[in-house]
Amino acid sequence: MNNQANILKVVSVFAMDNRVKVIRYLNMTGYAQLNANSSLKDINSAIADNMFDDQFWLNFVTFMYENSQDDLYSNWITMVVEIVGVITTSIHSMYLNAKQALFSRNMFYKQDERNKETEKFYKDLAELNAKKELAIQMNIAQQDLKLKREQQEDSGKTTQYLLMFGVFLVGALTLAYVIRKKNKSNKLNTI
């Protein structure tokens, strides 16, 4: 990782120290369309936009070597191979990290969606059970009320029947008493 950081530092320092040359190079080769006064951020973005193109790195390192005033590498071939290798490895590592992050995000999103679906399912199930329980409790209360009313009606009818029977019985006894008294008084009168 230390070598990788050093190589990226060399590329970054070169772009910073040779900003105008790098802008011209990127524009002439078609790798970017930058203004002459573009910021380092724009230059870095243009380089990053081409990071998956091995030919870009080969050409850019050659451009760096041809325009470098420092003798950073005495052997141009070694420099090209090392820079392209390190940058390719870095890019591959960044790509894999980004892909892994995206995969992790997608897995988290899918798990979150499953959790939401599960939560919704249990919420709906709880609501359904609550509705059923309420309906059952209301039905029980209504049945109890119907039974009480029927019992009251039956009790009222029984009382009516008993009163009617009682009135009939009293009437019958009264009639029997009256008839008996009349018969007794007729017998006494005949004697």
Contact status, residue 34 vs residue 46, Cβ threshold 8 Å: yes
pLDDT digits (tens, 9 = 90+) for 170-181: 888 888 888 888
> pLDDT at position 61, please?
80
How is the chain split into domains, by residue range?
A: 2-99
Determine the Cα–Cα distance for residues 137 and 47; give it in Å rounded to an integer: 72
Residue 101 tokens, joined: 């992050």
Average the pLDDT over 82-100 and give the result. Answer: 75
Alpha-helix runs per DSSP H in the chain: 2-17, 19-28, 40-49, 54-67, 76-190
Residue 89 pLDDT greater than 90, yes or no: no
Residue 3 pLDDT greater than 70, yes or no: no
User: Lowest-confidence range among 16-20, 55-59, 73-77?
Assistant: 73-77
Q: What's the predicted TM-score (pTM) here? A: 0.45
Determine the Cα–Cα distance for residues 132 and 143; give it in Å rounded to an integer: 16
Q: How much is the mean pLDDT over the chain?
A: 80
Average the pLDDT over 88-93 and give the result. Answer: 73
Task: Tell me the backbone φ, ψ of residue 173, rounded to 5 degrees.
Answer: -65, -40
